[in-house]
Structure 1
Amino acid sequence: MQDFLYHSRRKALSYSLQALLRYSAWQIARRQSKSPPKIQLPAVANPQTPEDFRPLQAECFQNPFDFYRVIRDEHPVYQLPNGIFCISRFEDIVSVSRDTDNYSSSHQGIIAGLRSGASVEKAGAKMEKIAEMGVIPSDVLALSDPPKHTSERKVGHKGLNARFVKGLESEVETLCKTMMDEFIDSGRVEFMQQFGWKLPMVLIIKLLGFPEEDFEDIKGWCVHGISTQSGISTTSELMYSRSQMMVFMRYCWQQYLLAKKKPRSDLSRIFVDAATDPQNPMTDAVAVSGIMQLLLAGSDSSATSMGNALKMLIDNPNIAEEIRSDIDGNLPPFIEEVFRLEAAFQGHFRWTKNDCELHGVKLPKNSRIFLMWASGNRDERVFDNPEKIDLQRHNGKKHLTFGHGIHACIGRELARTEIRIVLKEFLLRTRHMRIDGEAPFLASMFARTLITLPVVFEPANTTPAGEKLI
């Protein structure tokens, strides 16, 4: 009876809040459509200061690395126009990541869209109450602090440890080859839509025991989830995306309750077991949130890294040829360079639990912080010739792409495995790859995601004898 009442209230509140958010998003968009369009300042021809780069305008996100270098060198703690402080140097990022007493990982779902000056703590407390009702995701795994995080991470590791990932290799290879068979003879693929987004998401859906036919819906919800972290979404866009996340949360609840009713051997079972273990503090609502986080992070980060990796191979045919000469030896260090140079997530958010100071800049309690993994990855204080692809780099795995400290990504070995298998197949089965059209990046502080990557190629089996694959 208690469960029935909980889920009845959960669903009623979820539908009500979703309707309210969608209506508010429509009203705001309607008002904005009647207002004069906002005038964006033109880009500066030779930017010298951080402001010259127009850091929150779309064009900056196509190649933000000069902006990162300027703030890293001259403004290591830089406040964006939206009030968020950017931490850009490698050692500073590492230091903040380790300092969980002063810098919190919680409430990341609201940090990007919070108005300047608002209290993260107060807004987060309101969200926590709604999360406890199972309507929105709880702060879990990457979004929680010790000691809560410690027990949650143990649960996640049960499902994504190195031994488990190693056992998946043949399944990933089969899926990759099957998907490539669908387009290989045509000599053309829109990589992001036909392959990049699809492979890792189909895999994680299967591992969780969710219906594979729900792929398109889950993909759409994940896109909305990532957009809430962009830092540049309009209020109406943010409200609509959050309304879609409520739909996603209801879906994850539905699948979780099915797994709870009929136990099975998949990743969902691990969360069910944890939530039903009286010795484990994990609740059903937290377990559902953990599953949702696996779908969000697992799909986007792998898809983004695959696309960025393939683009880097196409843009650097000499590197592609070097890798082909010794695929098993050269491909793994190349993948680490992809992670370093084109981090799928450009950074993650934090907020200050106490008054802090860094490089003489005061960070009052409740300041919003953005740890810039992608900037730290190109910090010349740590990496020699940081802009160069170096397959012999001695500290290539030192990059921050999978985070640092207690929040280092638990799915990193799965991501490495997926990308290695995919790139190997493309290198072996294609030649003369080139980009045929536009390959723009999503405008976002958070994600470094290619929107499209149209690739044309020749199938490798048509290579004349003795001709090199390039």
Structure 2
Amino acid sequence: METLLDPALQSCPYAYYQRLRAESPVYRMPDTGFYLITNYELCREIIREPDIFVSGVTPMNLNPEAAPEEVSAIYRDHGWMPAASCSTSDPPRHTQVRALLSKLFTTAKVRSMVPHIRETAHHLVDGFMTGGECEFVNSFSHPLPMIIIAEQIGVSTRDLDTFKEWSDAIVEMFGMMISRQRQLECARLIVDMQHFFKQQIDLRREHPQDDLLTILADSRYENGQEIPMNELLTIVTVDLLASGNETTTAGISSGTMLLAEQPQLLATLKAEPELIPVFVEEVLRLESPAQGMFREVVKETTLGGTFFKPGDILSLRFGAANRDEAEFPDADQVNLQREKPGKHLAFGVGRHHCIGAPLARQEMLISFQVLIQRLEDIRLKYPAKAHPYTPSFFGRNLQALDIEFKAAR
């Protein structure tokens, strides 16, 4: 029996999603007991009822090989017990954290970052331009958002490899696809990251700088409450560092693979660069970087003909809902003339709409503008080879993307 916990199925889950939408849009996974919600309208309905379907679900504890006690001991004895992230919390914590994060990513702040994002994109292209080929994830789609968020936080970009190792540890824990031993390794890496940022926060309190760490170090919640260190560290490590780069990396990688696979698409965007913003939205819809998010039922309710009781766990499959033919004509195709291209659920809606969405969109937009301007004839170096994705119940991240190209004349 097919299961979404199979990495092979995760590498291309869309035919599976299509069958579920047609036959069982509310599908209970026999191996986990989770309910997969795969059509657009049902996902929207659940998101609109955040007090019935709450977000405070800890994905790490849902891993079939979960080791919550051993992991907790590592945090308790050597670091700080992580708090719930903004995306996996409910009021009042969610309200507090979202209010704080919203001050960090204002429209004016993101707009001010545009010249530096563009400069960084050009600099990264300069690094591989003359070779005519590159492994794109390591050369561009990973370093760009990591450089931007690291600089905004206020830490040296010389440590990008370490930040990636730490960020990967957080994402792997959320992805629910790692062994018990790897969970313990990830917990130790996260503790290392906690100590690094605890030291940085202490330094900012003594010597303020013009960065997000200084803002956070001096912040209190809106009710005047001091932010406990474990919550402050979760905001920095999960809500900023990991969330600030992983999904954007996935979006840039997926979009570049589409350009490499569809030469006419690249030609159209070269001729009509004003369509690149629509292309960004189509990439987000087609290859949703966050394939799913959990909700827990807290009140008896019926949805899509299925009765739910308190404690039932739902996985909203954004990757499926965003290809729902009932909502998006030609759902499996890039349509640069699509009406309301931002209607997808890639960033969520309502209370849990991703607060970093404006920055992610800007980074994707500038990346594709620079790549389309400077490269021609982008193609897969190994067209017959399957492209590996990081096994994850949550995300959709290409591990590597080997491309060839010509420098634009």
Tell me the TM-score normalised to structure 1 length.
0.80
The answer to whether the aligner puts 1:318 opposite 2:264 as a matched pair is yes
The answer to whether the aligner puts 1:62 opposite 2:8 as a matched pair is no
Take 1:134 and 1:244, find their aligned partners in 2: how far apart are those partners? 11
Contact 2:260-2:403 within 8 A present in 1 as well: no
The answer to whether the aligner puts 1:101 opposite 2:30 as a matched pair is no
The answer to whether the aligner puts 1:385 opposite 2:330 as a matched pair is yes
* Structure 1 gaps, min length 5: 1-50, 462-470
* 1:203-242 Cα distance to aligned partner (Å, 9 max, x none): 1011000122221111011112111122332323333323
Take 1:388 and 1:276, find their aligned partners in 2: how far apart are those partners? 44
Amino acid at match of 1:408: H
Q: 1 or 2 for the larger relative contact order (CA 8 Å, sep ≥6)?
A: 2
Amino acid at match of 1:427: I
CA drift of 1:249 comes to 2.3
% identical aligned pairs: 25
Q: For residues 170-189 of structure 1, what are the structure 2 equivalents within 5 Å?
A: 170-189=115-134
Change (3 A) 1:246 1:79: farther
Change (3 A) 1:134 1:363: farther
> Which one of the candidate residues 253, 262, 280 is aligned to 2:207?
262
Amino acid at match of 2:45: S
Change (3 A) 1:363 1:235: farther
Q: For residues 232-251 of structure 1, what are the structure 2 equivalents within 5 Å?
A: 232-251=177-196
Change (3 A) 1:97 1:260: farther
Q: For residues 192-231 of structure 1, what are the structure 2 equivalents within 5 Å?
A: 192-231=137-176
Take 2:64 and 2:302, find their aligned partners in 1: how far apart are those partners? 22
Take 1:258 and 1:353, find their aligned partners in 2: how far apart are those partners? 42
The answer to whether the aligner puts 1:302 opposite 2:248 as a matched pair is yes
CA drift of 1:127 comes to 6.5
Take 1:371 and 1:127, find their aligned partners in 2: how far apart are those partners? 27
Tell me the TM-score normalised to structure 2 length.
0.91
> Which one of the candidate residues 30, 40, 50 is aligned to 1:90?
40
CA RMSD of aligned residues (A): 2.5
Q: For residues 40-439 of structure 1, what are the structure 2 equivalents within 5 Å?
A: 51=1, 53-80=2-29, 81-113=31-63, 135-275=80-220, 279-280=224-225, 282-293=227-238, 294-327=240-273, 329-437=274-382, 438=385, 439=387
Contact 1:152-1:282 within 8 A present in 2 as well: no
Amino acid at match of 1:340: R
Contact 1:333-1:396 within 8 A present in 2 as well: yes
Take 1:98 and 1:253, find their aligned partners in 2: how far apart are those partners? 37
* 1:163-217 Cα distance to aligned partner (Å, 9 max, x none): 1111111101111111111110111111101211111101101100012222111
Take 1:306 and 1:235, find their aligned partners in 2: how far apart are those partners? 31
Q: For residues 436-447 of structure 1, what are the structure 2 equivalents within 5 Å?
A: 436-437=381-382, 438=385, 439-447=387-395
Corresponding pairs, count: 403
Contact 2:198-2:233 within 8 A present in 1 as well: yes
Contact 1:111-1:368 within 8 A present in 2 as well: no
Contact 2:129-2:407 within 8 A present in 1 as well: yes
| Partner SS state of residue 228, structure 1 | helix
CA drift of 1:146 comes to 1.6
| Partner SS state of residue 19, structure 2 | helix
Take 2:303 and 2:380, find their aligned partners in 1: how far apart are those partners? 43
Contact 2:96-2:221 within 8 A present in 1 as well: no
